[in-house]
Chains A and B, each alone.
Chain A
Amino acid sequence: MEQLTFETMVAVFEEIFGRMLFWGMVAVAVVITVAYFYVLIRDRTMSMRKFLLAQLSMPFGAVAAVIFVMAMTHSDLRDMGGAVDVIVLLGIAAMGAVGAAILVYTAQSLFRGVQEP
C-alpha cells in the first residue's frame, strides 16, 4: 500500500459492509452522535444515573462489535495470529463499547427526559 487517504478508507469500508449498509451505519452513527450532543446541550448537565446504565451496556457493545466484524469478514477468534491482531480486535471492541454507551445514554435522555435529581 502506497498511501492511505480518507477516500481510500471510505472505499475500504464500503467494500467491507457494502455501500448501502456502510452509509446506513454512518447515517445512524451521525444521528446518534448529533442526538447525544443535543441532549448534552439541552440538559446542560450529565446525569450519572444515565451514565451508569450506559457504562453497563459497554461490554455488550464491545462483544457485539467483535461478533459483527467477525461475521462480515469470514473470521473467527482462532484467527488471531499476533499482537497486532489483538490490538485491532481490542480497537474494534473499544469502538463498540463507546458506541453502545453513547447510544444508551442518548436513548435514556431522549425518551426518559430530564427527571433529575
Chain B
Amino acid sequence: MTTIENLTPSRRAFLGLMAAGAASGFATRPAKAAKIQTKARIVIIGAGAAGTSLVNRLVTRLEGADITILDPSAQHLYQPGLSLVAAGLKPASYTQSQTVDWLPEDITFIPAGAAAVDPEAKSVATTEGQTIPYDFLVVAPGLVLDHDAIEGFSLDLVGSGGIGALYAGPQYAAKTWQAASKFTEDGGVGIFTRPATEMKCAGAPLKHTFLIEDIATRTAGAGKHEMHYASNNASLFGVPIVSEKVRMLFEDRGITPQYSHVLTAVDPVRQLATFATPDGETEMEYDYLHVIPPQRAPDFVRQSGLSWADKWTDQGWVEVDMQTLRHRRYPEVFALGDVAGVPKGKTAASVKWQVPVVEDHLIAAIEGQEGTAVYDGYTSCPLITRVGRAMLIEFDYHNNLTPSFPGVIAPLEELWISWLMKEVALKATYNAMLRGKA
C-alpha cells in the first residue's frame, strides 16, 4: 500500500497554525479614534434605517452629547424585504424587528412622533405634547403613503378581489401575495402601477412585475396571463440606460408598457382601474392590480417650513443641499433618507451612503469646523428579474452607472450572483448598517 510519508504534521505545527488563524482574526479590527467631548443636544426624528444608523455612529464618535431619538413605531421594518414577502418568498416576519433592539444605550428614545419643528427657536414638539430643544436636528421620519389619493381604494381591499399593495407594510405585503398568487394560478389581466410622485425605491414596482410574471409563467404556463406595466411618464426607470434595458426585458417577457398612465381610481366591484393619461382618463379591467400610492413628506415637515418652496410643492420634501444634506436655510438642520429633498435616493442603499456624510458635517459643526464629505447621489437597486436572477444596478445623481464590482458583476446583466446579494446578503448588510458598522 502506498503512503505519503512526508505528510506528517507535528502537533506543534498544528497548534501554531490555529494560533496564527486566531491572531489574524483579531488583527483586522481597526483602532478606535478618540471621542469628541461635547454637550451638544442632538435630536433625531425617526428611528428607521437612517436615524438608527446615524445614532449608532454618533455614540461611537461623541462623548457627553445629549442625543434624543423619536419614533412612534415600536416596530422596525426591513423595507427592502417587502418585495420578497409580496412574492411569497419570505414570511412577513422577515421584515420585522423591534425598534429599541437596534438603538444604543446612553441615548434617550422617545416613543412618539414629531408634531412640529420650530427651526427658529430650535425645538421639536412631539405628538405626546413634549417640547425638546436642540442644537442640531436630523429629520429622518420617512415618508407618508397617500392611499386616500386613489379614489375607491382602501387598505381593507388588499389581499382579495385581485388587489395588492406591498408598500403598505409587512401584513399588506403578505396579503398582496395572497391576491397575486391567486392571479398566477388562475391567469387573467395583471396591471402593475407606480405613482407620479417621488417614491421609495423606484425599482420595486418593476421587481414585483417581473417576479409575478416569472411565477405566473411557471405556475400556470405561458399564454394565460396578460401583463401591463403602467408607468408615470415616457420611461420605465429614471436612469435612461436602465429604462432601455427594462424595455427590452419587458418585450422579451411579454409585459406591455403603458406609458404615462397614472392610477387615479379603483372600482373594486367591477375590477376596473382608472388612469390619468395625456389624452384624458382611460379605464382598464384587471384580474390583479398592484397599487402604489403617491408619496409625500409627513405633514409636520411641510407645516414647519422645512420643505422646498419651489420644488415638489405637492410632496414637501426637506430643502437640503444635494451634496451635504444640510438644510439650505437652517444650517443646524439635516435631513436623511426618504424625506430628504434630493433627486433619486429613497432607498436603504442611499441611506448607507448619506449617513456618513451627515455624520461628517454634524461632527465638524460641533467642532466649529466645516465638513468635507460629499454625497453624490449613489443608490443601488438589485433589480430582480426572476426568482433566482437580478441586475445589480448602482447609479448616482448624474444617471451614471457606478458598479461596485466592475468587470465581475455586470450591472445590466441578469445574474444569479446579483440575486444572491438581494436575497441573502442585503439584509445582513442592512443590519450591519443599522449598527453603524457598514
Contact = CB atoms under 8 A, between A and B. Distances in A.
B387 A81 contact: no
Given A80-B416, A81-B414, A12 B429 contact: yes
A41 interface: yes
B427 A15 contact: yes
B389 interface: yes
Interface string A21-59: 000000000000000010011001111110000000000
Contacts of A14: 428
Contacts of B429: 1, 8, 11-12
B40 interface: no
Given A15-B425, A81-B389, A75 B416 contact: yes
B4 A8 contact: no
Identify which of A14, A15, A49, A88 gathers the most chain B CB atoms within 10 Å of its CB: A15
B416 A79 contact: yes
Identify which of A3, A45, A117 gathers the most chain B CB atoms within 10 Å of its CB: A45
Interface in A61-103: 73-76, 78-82, 84-85, 88-89
A49 B11 contact: no
A37 B17 CA distance: 11
Nearest to B7: A46
Contact of A82 (B9, B404, B410, B438): B410
B352 interface: yes
B2 interface: yes
A82 B1 contact: no
Nearest to B424: A16
A76 B352 CA distance: 31
A74 B3 contact: no
Contacts of A44: 8
Given A8-B438, A75-B416, A48 B428 contact: no
B410 A75 contact: no
Interface of B: 1-5, 7-11, 14, 25, 28, 89, 352-353, 386-389, 404, 408-410, 413-417, 419-420, 423-425, 427-429, 431-432, 437-438
24 contacts: A2-B353, A7-B437, A8-B428, A8-B437, A12-B429, A15-B424, A40-B7, A40-B8, A41-B8, A45-B3, A45-B4, A45-B7, A46-B4, A48-B3, A73-B424, A75-B388, A76-B388, A79-B416, A81-B413, A81-B416, A84-B417, A85-B415, A89-B416, A116-B1
Interface of A: 1-3, 5-8, 11-12, 14-16, 37, 40-41, 44-49, 73-76, 78-82, 84-85, 88-89, 116-117
